[in-house]
């Protein structure tokens, strides 16, 4: 999972660097949107790692506890265990906490409650290369986010979409939250 660690560090550093090229606005909305998408993607990976990574091919209908309280109902089909599938996620006060640290200092932090329905399509090969797509017509997100040194509250209920693609040398995330675009890319060729 070293590739995952490099992905999250790249996201954090990319957010910090992209903020440098924008007008000097304290904790701008585009940075806050990136942190939300980063956190939701990480939470989905955590939920699947704990429940679907070893599920056999076929239909699934699971009621799972979220790390920060609440539940998520996962329904759908596992096409290839741990790699391919199509799912519907029904979040009911699902608490997620995502953070990224560097040298024992927190760089990014997201602590939110998710409510709503989301679809998740994923297709990865045995090496972990491929893509996943998340889509919600309306996803309620409430809580707080932190990017050194700024703290902000979140209370939104709006459309959410994210696509995460991974190749042998790079990855990219694109999508939107509340109809605002979000995107970043990263390289992990040093891991190969």
Question: Closest by alpha carbon to 42, among 3, 104, 85, 98?
Answer: 98
Domain limits, the chain: 2-191
What is the end-to-end Cα distance of the chain in Å, rounded?
Answer: 12
Quick one: what percent of the chain has pLDDT higher than 70?
84
Tens digits of residue pLDDT in 40-52? 998 888 877 777 7
Confidence class for position 3, pLDDT limits 50, 70, 90: very low
Write out the two tokens for 168.
Answer: 């042998």
Which residue has tokens 């999250």?
8
Confidence class for position 25, pLDDT limits 50, 70, 90: low
Q: List beta partners, residue 167.
A: none
For residue range 141-187, what is the model confidence (pLDDT) as tens digits? 999 998 877 788 999 999 999 999 999 899 999 999 999 999 999 88
Q: What is the pLDDT of residue 21?
A: 46
Highest mean pLDDT among 21-25, 78-82, 118-122, 125-129: 118-122
Which two structure tokens, joined as six digits, stand for 192? 């190969």
Closest CA to 187 of 2, 10, 38: 10
10 has pLDDT over 60:
no
Higher pLDDT, 3 or 93: 93
Q: What is the pLDDT of residue 61?
A: 94
3-class secondary-structure state, position 73: strand
| pTM for this prediction | 0.80
Q: Say whether 24 sits in a helix, a strand or coil.
A: coil
């Amino acid at each position: 999972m070293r590739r995952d660690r490099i992905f999250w560090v790249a996201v954090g550093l990319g957010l910090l660097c992209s903020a440098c090229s924008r007008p000097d606005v304290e904790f701008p909305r585009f940075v806050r949107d990136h942190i939300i998408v980063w956190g939701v993607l990480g939470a989905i990976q955590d939920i699947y790692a704990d429940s679907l990574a070893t599920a056999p091919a076929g239909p699934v209908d699971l009621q799972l506890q979220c790390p920060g309280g609440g539940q998520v109902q996962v329904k759908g089909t596992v096409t290839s265990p741990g790699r391919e599938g199509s799912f519907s996620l029904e979040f009911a006060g699902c608490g997620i906490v995502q953070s990224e640290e560097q040298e024992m200092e927190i760089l990014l932090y997201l602590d939110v409650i998710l409510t709503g329905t989301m679809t998740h399509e994923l297709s990865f090969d045995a090496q972990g290369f491929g893509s996943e797509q998340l889509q919600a017509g309306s996803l309620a997100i409430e809580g707080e986010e932190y990017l050194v040194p700024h703290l902000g509250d979140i209370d939104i209920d709006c459309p959410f979409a994210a696509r995460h693609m991974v190749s042998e040398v790079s990855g990219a995330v694109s999508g939107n939250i509340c109809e605002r675009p979000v995107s970043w890319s990263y390289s992990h060729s040093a891991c190969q």
